[in-house]
């Protein structure tokens, strides 16, 4: 007699369990129960897989699981028994040992489960949201005023040269960094960073160190599609609101680069010492390397001492050297370039608005077929 199997399925979702209400049929009650349990196991094993590379091997493992269906049933409870024309219908609540089934199949088959996909999806969405928030925090932070990132302490002066119309002084200052700002800055990069270097990331650096003329730093591998702007700052020291000293200071994290434009071009590819460390091996070369590395200074906790040139042409201001107010701000050249860029932008907008629309003369053919140009005159 041909078996007739009727399956009624209601999935019950609970933590760490997979249960189903199923109705099995058979010529006897025992056969109906056995068929129901078998169908429950086959149903779970069939729905277990999202992607299988070895379909044939998976089918073999699946058949083995279904054949030993009783060994993969954790428990079952009979809800209803009905007999109709010598056919038994047994409705059961079946709970399976899903971990046991997965472990057996996984031994020879690679597959992706629904739970793994959901877990990865959740992690991906969470990580992408975190990346976007951290990147926005980074962009906000680097736009903060320079005095919130770095400071300058005035510690005194020395008279260098006395002329008829001016006096050259050397100001003793100490450059400091805001430890709270830079801690937050490095934490953002750390949490944005990928575990390893790859073609998909750009390297950002922080927490610089120099030892025996070798420079090292923390490396952060930031995904390129994040598009983080540079945090480098070109700054000058101002005395009572007037910029002093023509040295170009560029600040990056806890490092200061002290170099003019020509030196920066020469040392551009040697910025972090990597090129030098690979190419320069002998003692003379190491001496040259140290000379290059002197352009880079690390800001220690107590501040970086610097000697700044300062020319005074107003003799009365010499009396006020004791209370000289020093501040740090963006370089004048950077400010001027920003102003020029803004002026070009505004000029472009005005030009577009005021540019009159050119009126072209109308042309048509008269009754004789001749071309007539009507310029409105």
Residue-wise pLDDT for 136-181, tens only, equals 999 999 989 998 899 999 999 999 999 988 999 999 999 999 988 9
- Same domain flag for 163 and 241: yes
Can you tell me whether residue 202 is helix, strand or coil?
strand
350 or 2: whose pLDDT is higher? 350
Q: Which tokens in the block code for residue 11?
A: 């999935």
Helices (H), 220-282: 261-266, 274-279
**Residue 48: predicted pLDDT:** 67
Residue 288 reports pLDDT greater than 80: no
Domain for residue 1, yes or no? no
| pLDDT tier at 57, thresholds 50, 70, 90 | confident
DSSP state for residue 229 in the 8-state scheme: P
Is residue 369 situated within a structural domain?
A: no
179 plus 98 within the same structural domain: no
Whether 79 and 163 share a structural domain: no
Q: 44 lies in which domain range? A: 10-112
Question: Do 197 and 317 fall into the same domain?
Answer: yes
* 365 part of a folded domain: no
Same domain, 182 and 45: no
The total of structural domains in the chain comes to 2
Looking at the predicted structure, is the pLDDT value of residue 15 above 80?
A: no
Residue at which a domain ends, from 64, 80, 112? 112
- Mean pLDDT throughout 115-137? 90
In this structure, the answer to whether residues 25 and 84 fall within a common structural domain is yes
For the stretch 200-255, pLDDT in tens is 999 999 999 877 777 888 999 999 999 999 999 888 888 888 888 777 788 999 99
Q: What is the CA radius of gyration of the chain?
A: 39
Helix 29-47 with 98-106: angle, nearest 10 deg: 60
Is the model's pLDDT at 81 over the cut of 50?
A: yes
Query: How many residues are listed for the chain in this entry?
Result: 377
Q: Is residue 187 within 8 Å of 233, Cβ to Cβ? A: no
Which of 84, 112, 140 terminates a domain? The answer is 112
Q: Residue 96: is it exposed, middle or buried by C-beta count within 10 angstroms (0-12/13-18/19+)?
A: buried
Whether 72 maps to a domain, the answer reads: yes
Do residues 59 and 140 both lie within one domain? no
CATH code for position 75: 3.30.1660
Give the whole-angstrom CA distance, residue 257 versus residue 234: 9
Q: Which of 82, 112, 142 is the C-terminal boundary of a domain?
A: 112
Q: Is 161 helix (H, G, I), strand (E, B) or coil?
A: strand
Q: How much is the pTM? A: 0.60
Q: Fill in the DSSP letter of residue 147.
A: G
Same domain membership, residue 190 and residue 105:
no
138 and 192 Cβ atoms separated by less than 8 Å: yes
CA–CA separation, 22 and 40 (whole Å) = 7
Please say whether the beta carbons of 172 and 157 come within 8 A: yes
Closest by CA to 258, choosing from 217, 305, 213, is: 305
Residue 280 has pLDDT above 50, yes or no: no
**Residue 139 and residue 33 share a domain:** no
Q: What is the mean pLDDT of residues 123-147?
A: 92
Report if residue 78 sits inside a domain: yes
- Reported as a pLDDT band with limits 50, 70 and 90, residue 356 is low
Q: What is the DSSP letter of 266?
A: H
Alpha-carbon gap, residue 95 to 18, rounded angstroms: 6
- DSSP annotation of 97 reads -
290, part of any domain: yes
Are 31 and 141 part of one and the same domain? no
Lowest mean pLDDT segment, chosen from 62-71, 120-129, 266-275? 266-275
Do 292 and 222 lie in a common domain? yes
Question: Do 84 and 152 reside in the same domain of the chain?
Answer: no
């Amino acid at each position: 007699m041909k078996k007739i199997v009727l399956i009624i399925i209601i999935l019950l979702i609970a933590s760490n369990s997979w249960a189903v209400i199923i109705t099995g049929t058979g010529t006897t009650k025992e056969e109906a129960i056995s068929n129901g349990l078998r169908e429950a196991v086959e149903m779970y094993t069939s729905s277990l897989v999202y992607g299988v590379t070895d379909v044939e091997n998976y089918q073999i493992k699946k058949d083995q699981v279904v054949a030993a269906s009783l060994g993969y049933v954790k428990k079952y409870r009979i809800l209803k028994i009905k007999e109709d024309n010598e056919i038994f219908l047994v409705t059961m609540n079946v709970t399976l040992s899903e971990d046991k089934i997965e472990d057996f199949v996984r031994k020879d088959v690679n597959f992706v489960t629904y739970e793994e996909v959901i877990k990865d999806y959740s992690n991906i969405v969470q990580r992408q949201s975190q990346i976007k928030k951290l990147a926005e925090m980074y962009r906000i932070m680097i736009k903060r005023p320079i005095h919130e990132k770095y400071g300058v302490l005035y510690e005194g002066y020395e008279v260098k040269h006395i002329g008829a119309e001016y006096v050259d002084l050397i100001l003793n200052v100490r450059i400091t960094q805001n430890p709270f700002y830079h801690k937050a800055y490095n934490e953002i990069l750390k949490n944005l960073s990928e575990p390893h270097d790859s073609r998909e990331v750009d390297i950002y650096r922080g927490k610089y160190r120099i030892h025996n003329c070798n420079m090292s730093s923390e490396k952060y591998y930031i995904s390129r599609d994040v598009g983080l702007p540079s945090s480098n700052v070109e700054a000058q020291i101002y005395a009572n609101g007037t910029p002093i000293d023509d040295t170009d200071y560029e600040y990056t994290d806890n490092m200061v680069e002290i170099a003019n434009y020509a030196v920066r071009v020469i040392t551009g590819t040697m910025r972090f010492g990597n090129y030098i460390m690979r190419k320069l091996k002998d003692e003379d070369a190491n001496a040259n390397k140290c000379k290059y590395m002197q352009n880079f200074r690390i800001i220690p906790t107590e501040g970086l001492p610097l000697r700044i040139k300062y020319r005074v042409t107003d003799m009365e201001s010499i009396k006020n050297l004791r209370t000289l107010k020093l501040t740090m701000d963006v370089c004048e050249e950077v400010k001027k370039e920003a102003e020029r860029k803004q002026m070009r932008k505004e000029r472009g907008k005005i030009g577009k608005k005021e540019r009159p629309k050119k009126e072209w003369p109308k042309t048509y053919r008269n009754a004789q077929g001749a071309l007539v140009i009507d310029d409105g005159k």
